[in-house]
Structure 1
Amino acid sequence: MDPLSSSDPARLASEQRRLRLQVLGLNTVEAEATFDRIARLAASFTQSPLAMVNFINDERQMFRGMYVPSGSPDDKVSPESGGIAFDLSNLSREAPGDYGFCPHVVAQGSQLALDDVFDYPRFKGNPLVNDLGVRSYLGTPLRDNTGMILGTVCVADMKPRTWDRGLREGMQELTETLLSDFKLRDSLLAQQQELFAVFDGAPFPIMLTEGPDHLLRYANGKQGSAFGLVPQFSPGRHVLPGLEAIGVFGAMDDAFHTGQAATLARASIQTYDSHTLQDFNFLCTPVRTSPAAPISGVLTVAMNTTGQDFAGSEQRAFAANVQERFERLGAGGLPGGMPGQRAESAGYRG
C-alpha cells in the first residue's frame, strides 16, 4: 500500500507537496549540484555507500541529489557482513511514489532508522531490498522554510548496521542546512513578481515553460488573448497544438537541450484576436534556477511581424530588455517557481 495515498488527508498532502515542488522548481528529476553535495556529505558522514536527497510528489520520487559508490559491486560488501553485492552504478534518479522507505518517512513525518530491514516484517519485502540489496536505512524528513515536508535526505547500506544517536542527529542537522536554499528560492519568487508586472504589460505574447515537456509556468495576457488560455503547469505542446504545428516547441526543444537561444522566424498562425493569419518571430531563451543548476525551462517571446520586413525597433528593444532582466535575476539564483495565470482550457483555431 502506498503510505502517501492511503487516505484523503494523505492524498491532499501529496497534492499540496507537488504544487509546492512545482513552485520551487523542484518537481523534476534533474540533478542539482547543491543536492548532490548534500548527498555526498551524508554518505561521508555516515560512511554509507548510498545517499540521496529525495523529493516526492503525488506520483514519483525524484533523486535530485545522489551519491553512489564507484568500483565494482564486489567491493561494496563482504560475505561475512550479511549484505548482498549489487551494482549501483546505473541507479536511476527517479522511482515510483510507493517505492522504498522514503514514502514512509514522509507519511509519518519523522526520522526512520532501520538497523536491519529483515528485523521488520513490514519492510522486509520492500522492493528496495530485492532490487538493490539494501539491509539498513536512515531517512530524515526534508522540510522547507514553511514547515512542509518535501521529501527526505537518506542513507542506506547493503549490510546491517546500527544508526546511533550521533548519526541520527547529524543527519537531522545536515538536512536543515537546505533551509537556506528554500528561503532563497522564496525570496527570489517575490522579486519575480516585479518582473512579471513588466511581462504583464508587454505588447506581445510571453510565456515561460518548465522542463523538457515545456509545462506552462507563466503566460502574460497577450499570450492568452493571441494563442489561448490554458491551465498552469499543463504540457504546452499538448494544450497549445497551434504553436506545436508551426514549430514553436521544436525551437523550444533546441533552446532547452543546447542551452542556446533559438529563433523561429516568420511563422504564420491564426490567433484568437485576429481573423487572418498573422506572422510571428519567436525568440526562445533557456533559463536556469541558479548559475550552477541545469537548464530548468524556456522563456519564449513572440513578436508579431505581419506586414513588416522585420520586427519593429520598439518590439525588439522590449524583448531584449525582458531577456536581460530575466537573465539578471537568474544570475542571482532564480527559483524555478513561476506564478502564472490559470484559466479554462481553450482550443486553437486554424
Structure 2
Amino acid sequence: MTDVMSTQGQFPGASGESERTRRLRGLGLNDPSADEAFDRFAHLAASITRAPIAMVNFINDERQMFRGLYIPPNPVDITAEDGPSWADRGIAFDLPSREMPLSHGFCPHVVAQRSPLALDDILAYPRFAGNPVVDELGVRAYLGAPLVDSTSTVIGTVCVLDREPRQWGRERLRDIQHLAEALLSEIRLRDNLMAQRQEMFAAFDGSPFPIMLTEGPGQEVRYANAQHADTFGAPVAYGTVGAAYPQLGAAGLGRAVLDAYHAGRTTVLDNVRIQSPRPDPQRGRQTFSFTCTPLRAALTGQINGVLTVGMDTTAQSRTEEELGTLAALLVDRLQQSGTSVPGRSAIIGEPGPVLPS
C-alpha cells in the first residue's frame, strides 16, 4: 500500500520526523484546523476548572496546533453589580490563528516532561517568566496535562490559562488530569477508524486501477494505491496533486480535483497523456481518463475530500458512465467502512444515503 501518511521517509524533509508527528499525521490531527468535538471539550475544561481560556493542543515537530479552543466570546462590564463570571471576564486574548511556535507557552514543557504542570503565578517562576506569551498575551497562570496515546506517545495537552494569578490546588490539577484521560477515548476512536481505513486502503491496493484520495480545502494527497504508484511513481513531496505528481498537475488533474471539491459534483478529465516514469518500452506514453468524486461528511454534508480513479484508455475507449460507475463502487466501499476521513463518515455527490457517524 502506498499511503502518503505512512511513507514519510520517501519525501524531502521527512528524515528525523518524530514518532509524535507521525502519530498526529496518522490520526489526522497534524494541522491547526478547528474541530467541533475538541472545541466542546475545551469549553468543558474551562467550565470544570473555572478558567477563562482552555485549549486542546496537539504538538508536532514544528508548531503547536489548537484543534480545540475556548475563549470568552464577548467582554462584559466588570462594574456590574454581580461582577463578571469565570466564563466572561472580558478576556482580551489576541490569538489570530489556532497555531503557535514551539517557543511560546508551556505545553511543550508538559509534552517534554510527560507530566502535568501547574503555574499559579508565572512571574514567580524565573524559568517561565520570560516566555513570550507573558508579555504578548498577558498569560499569568497555566495548568496543563499531557495526552498520552495508546502507543505511550505524548501527542499534546489539555490546558487552561488565566490572565490573573490562580491558586489551582490539587483538586484542579486532578480535574485536568481526568479531562486528559477522558479525551483519550476520542483519540482512541479516531485511531480505530484510521485502522479501519488502512484496511480499506489495503483492499484498494488490489484494484487494477490507479486510486488517489485527497483531503481538505487545499486537497492534499493523503493516499495513493499500489497501482497508482506503479503507474505514476511515488509522490515527490507532500501537498497538492501538482506538488506530489507534477506531471499529473501539469495535465490539469489538480484543477479537476478542486473543481469536484468546490462544485460538489463529479468531474471527469479525459485524454490525459502521461509519460510513464518507469523505463519500460512497452508502456511509453499512455492516455488516461480520471474521475474525481467528492466525499461529504455525513453529519454536516460538508465536502471534505475527493476520490480520484484513473483508467488507462490507451488501447481502448471508455465512456464517462463506465468511469463513474467504477468510482461509485469504490466510494461505496468507503461508505460501508464509514472511514473516508478520520472521525467522519462520507457520502458521494448529491444527497443520498447517509452513513451513521
Local SS of the residue matching 1:278: strand
Q: CA deviation at 1:250?
A: 2.2
How far, CA to CA, are the matches of 1:136 and 1:104 in structure 2?
15
> Structure 1 pair 291/267, CA: closer, same or farther in 2 (3 Å)?
farther
* Other-structure match for 1:275: 284
The answer to whether residue 103 in structure 2 is matched with residue 94 in structure 1 is no
Shift of 1:296: 5.2
Which residue of 2 is the match for residue 177 of structure 1?
A: 182
Partner of 1:87, secondary structure, is coil
Where 2:33 maps in the other structure, the secondary structure is coil
Aligned equivalent of 1:308: 317
Structure 1 residues not aligned, in runs of 5+ = 1-11, 79-83, 337-350
Amino acid in the other structure paired with 2:337:
L
TM-score by length of 2: 0.78
2:8 alignment partner in structure 1: none
Greater CA deviation, 240-249 or 264-273? 264-273
Matches within 5 A, 1:1-350: 15-72=18-75, 87-88=92-93, 91-230=96-235, 233=238, 236-256=241-261, 258=262, 260-272=264-276, 274-286=283-295, 291=299, 297-306=305-314, 307-308=316-317, 310-311=319-320, 313=322, 315-330=323-338, 334-335=342-343
Do 1:109 and 1:141's aligned partners in 2 also have CA atoms closer than 8 Å?
A: yes
Give yes or no for contact 2:72–2:91 (8 Å, CA) kept in 1: no
Does structure 2 conserve the Cα–Cα contact (< 8 Å) formed by 1:111 and 1:139?
A: yes
Which letter maps to 1:181? E
Superposition TM-score, scaled by structure 1 size: 0.80
| Counterpart amino acid of residue 230 in structure 1 | P
Q: Identify the residue that residue 339 of structure 1 maps to in structure 2.
A: none
Matched length: 316
Cα distance between partner residues in 1 of 2:301 and 2:102: 24
> CA–CA distance in 1 between the matches of 2:187 and 2:171?
26
- Using CA pairs under 8 Å that are at least 6 residues apart, name the structure with larger relative contact order, 1 or 2: 1
Stretches of structure 2 lacking an aligned partner (at least 5 in a row): 1-14, 84-88, 345-357
Identity of aligned residues (%): 45
Specify the SS of the correspondent of 2:93.
coil
Match of 2:9 in 1: none
Q: Give the drift of 1:159.
A: 0.5
Q: CA RMSD in A?
A: 3.1
Q: State the partner residue of 2:353.
A: none
Q: 1:93 to 1:221 in 2, by over 3 A?
A: same
Distance in 2 of aligned mates of 1:54 and 1:143: 12
CA distance 1:316–1:294, shift in 2 (3 Å): closer
